[in-house]
Amino acid sequence: MLELRGITKKYGEFTANDQIDFSLVKQEIHAIVGENGAGKTTLMRMLYGMEEPTSGDIFVHDKKRKIQSPNDAIGLGIGMVHQHFMLFPSFTIAENVVFHHEPRKKWRYDRKKANQEVEQLAKKFGMEINPNQKISDAPVGVQQRVEILKVLYQGAEIIILDEPTAVLTPLEVKDLLNSLRELVKMGKSIILITHKLNEVMEVADRITVLRDGKVSGSLKKEATDTEELSRLMVGRELQKKQLPKVTSGKAVLDVNQVYVNDSKNKAAVENISVQVHQGEIVGVAGVSGNGQSELIQAITGLVKTSAGKIRINDHDVTNHSVRQIRDRGLSHIPEDRYLWGAAKSASILDNLIMTDYRKSPLAQRGILNKGKIHSYVNNSIKRFDVKASSINTSAQYLSGGNLQKLIAAREIQKDTPLLLAAEPTRGVDIGAMEFIHEQIIEKRNNGDAVLLISSELSEILALSDRVLVMFEGKIVGEFDRENVSEEKLSLLMAGGTYE
Q: Applying CB under 8 A, which residues contact other proteins?
A: 11-12, 14, 300, 302, 321-323, 326, 332, 334, 339-347, 350, 353-355, 357-358, 363, 366-368, 370, 389-390, 392-394, 397
Q: Dihedral through CA 129, CA 131, CA 135, CA 138, nearest 10?
A: -30
Of the pair 126, 361, the CB lying nearest other proteins is at 361
Of the pair 265, 390, the CB lying nearest other proteins is at 390
Of the pair 168, 302, the CB lying nearest other proteins is at 302
Smallest distance from other proteins to CB 288, Å:
15
C-beta separation of 163 from 193 below 8 A: yes
Query: 483-488 long-range CB contacts below 8 Å, 24 or more apart?
Result: 486/231, 486/238, 486/457, 486/461, 487/227, 487/231
Smallest distance from other proteins to CB 473, Å:
22
Helices 140-153 and 111-124: crossing angle in degrees, nearest 10, is 100
At residue 163, the 3 state secondary structure works out as: coil
Instruction: Report strand pairing: 189-194 vs 14-24.
Output: unpaired
Smallest distance from other proteins to CB 187, Å:
36
d(CA 71, CA 87): 17
Smallest distance from other proteins to CB 356, Å:
10
Of the pair 202, 327, the CB lying nearest other proteins is at 327
Sheet holding 189-194, edge to edge: 78-81, 158-162, 189-194, 29-33, 206-211, 214-220
Q: Is the peptide bond before 334 cis (omega within 30 degrees of 0)?
A: no
Of the pair 97, 407, the CB lying nearest other proteins is at 407
Smallest distance from other proteins to CB 327, Å:
8
Pick the closest to residue 90 from 121, 131, 136 (CA basis).
Answer: 136
3-state secondary structure 270-302: EEEEEEEECCEEEEEECCCCCCHHHHHHHHHCC
Smallest distance from other proteins to CB 174, Å:
34
C-beta separation of 48 from 37 below 8 A: no
Smallest distance from other proteins to CB 120, Å:
40
Smallest distance from other proteins to CB 413, Å:
15
Query: Max Cα separation, the chain?
Result: 82
At residue 114, the 3 state secondary structure works out as: helix
Of the pair 280, 294, the CB lying nearest other proteins is at 294
Of the pair 284, 388, the CB lying nearest other proteins is at 388
Of the pair 68, 445, the CB lying nearest other proteins is at 68
Of the pair 121, 353, the CB lying nearest other proteins is at 353
Residue 451 carries which side chain, given as an amino acid letter? L
Smallest distance from other proteins to CB 342, Å:
6
Kindly give the residue spans of alpha helices, DSSP state H, lying in 281-399.
Answer: 292-300, 322-327, 348-352, 370-383
